[in-house]
Amino acid sequence: MNTPPIKKIVLWLLTIFLIYAILTSPDSAANIVGSAWDVIANGVKNVGRFFDSLISR
């Protein structure tokens, strides 16, 4: 499936920006990734709590 050219351009720009951000300030990039991971982990944990409380009723 061919993606439209604009999607390819945006994907390349995003990739280049991420590489630039990691190379220029790796500590900040690591903090951002760590924060994003914490948000995802807490979200999954909260979904699990929701279903646990739903089943236990």
Per-residue model confidence (pLDDT) at position 1: 61
**How many angstroms separate the CA atoms of 30 and 32, rounded?**
5
**How many angstroms separate the CA atoms of 4 and 40, rounded?**
30
**How many angstroms separate the CA atoms of 17 and 36, rounded?**
17
Per-residue model confidence (pLDDT) at position 56: 84
Please report how many Cα atoms fall inside a 13 Å half-sphere around the Cα of residue 3, on the Cβ side.
8
- Residue-level pLDDT, tens digit, the chain, 57 residues: 676 789 899 999 999 998 998 899 999 988 988 999 999 999 999 999 999 999 986
Per-residue model confidence (pLDDT) at position 27: 92
| Domain boundary assignment for the chain | 1-28
**How many angstroms separate the CA atoms of 38 and 45, rounded?**
10
Per-residue model confidence (pLDDT) at position 57: 66
Provide the 10 A C-beta neighbour count for residue 53. Answer: 9
